[in-house]
Amino acid sequence: MCKPHPKVGYGLGVFVQDAGENRGTVITHNGGMPGHAALMYSTPDGSKTLTAALNYVDDAALSMAETFQKTTQRLVKEVFGGGQAGSAQ
């Protein structure tokens, strides 16, 4: 499961993602349907995990996609990088 296809970074249900400089690798997968999303991140050995769920409005005029992506990446850095993500921008 953790040996993804080299071109897409995906293999048998999970993504393998670099968590950033000196932060190692995380295994991740997300899912959702209109109005709800779920996230899962874990170190390969399972010693640290992060799960989150959220509800949102599925309306293009109210899209939070960019903010959501930036916030997710900051959260991953905080959890898997020892709280070193820096200040919010």
Each residue's pLDDT tens digit, 47-66: 999 998 877 776 667 666 67
Three-state secondary structure of 2-42: CCCCCCCCEECCEEEEECCCCCCEEEEEEEEECCEEEEEEE
Average pLDDT, the chain: 75
Please state the pTM of the whole predicted model: 0.68
